[in-house]
A and B are shown apart, each in its own frame.
Chain A
Amino acid sequence: AQTVTQSQPEMSVQEAETVTLSCTYDTSESNYYLFWYKQPPSRQMILVIRQEAYKQQNATENRFSVNFQKAAKSFSLKISDSQLGDTAMYFCAFLVRPNSGGSNYKLTFGKGTLLTVNP
């Protein structure tokens, strides 16, 4: 079974500073994808960034970037120049296709990290 672990239940950062959220995962599969989702107080789940496991280059989306360490099964999210609007719950998620094939992909979420950006 696949598991996703976010070891930091809560974090805080000052506005304009940089913060890194940790995520580790466990799987025996070889084909998978990794995502970070953001859930602000409005509760809408918003895709922040994605990473394909077969790509060595770390994904970047504006102020958001990841540090993907496949051997260590680590997928951390770095937020640069933090803004007040970044305050949200951040979920690491792992999408895997079993080696047996078929369309039975499953997206597994971590329990989340509550990030608060302070003015």
Chain B
Amino acid sequence: SQTIHQWPATLVQPVGSPLSLECTVEGTSNPNLYWYRQAAGRGLQLLFYSVGIGQISSEVPQNLSASRPQDRQFILSSKKLLLSDSGFYLCAWSVQPNQPQHFGDGTRLSIL
């Protein structure tokens, strides 16, 4: 069966520091991968999605970037974190773009 792993679960970082959140999927090949941010008390906002290695699409301009160095690995990064980057970040995967997305456990990011 397919599983998705996302880490770390919780992260506290100072303003201006770099960020790297990692997500990996097991049990499938060439998944579609997604990064979302969930602000407190709100729905999910799609940040990036990828249909293949090295193929990244950005949905909103921001302080973040994403990379997909391997088929089942998706990384969310920032060179300098802002206070507004605080939130709950979720990674997700799907078999095809029109199939349901399955989510990781999320990373709670707090910026001080």
Contacts and interface: CB of A to CB of B under 8 A. Distances in A.
B103 A44 contact: yes
Interface string A36-55: 01000011111100100000
B102 A47 contact: yes
Interface stretch (A67-75, A79-87, A107-115): A107-115
B46 A97 contact: no
A63 interface: no
Interface residues of A, number: 23
B98 A95 contact: yes
Interface in A88-110: 91, 95, 97, 103-107, 109-110
Contacts of A104: 57, 97
Given A4-B43, A103-B97, A107-B34, 4 more contacts: A97-B97, A109-B44, A111-B43, A112-B43
Interface of A: 4, 33, 35, 37, 42-47, 50, 91, 95, 97, 103-107, 109-112
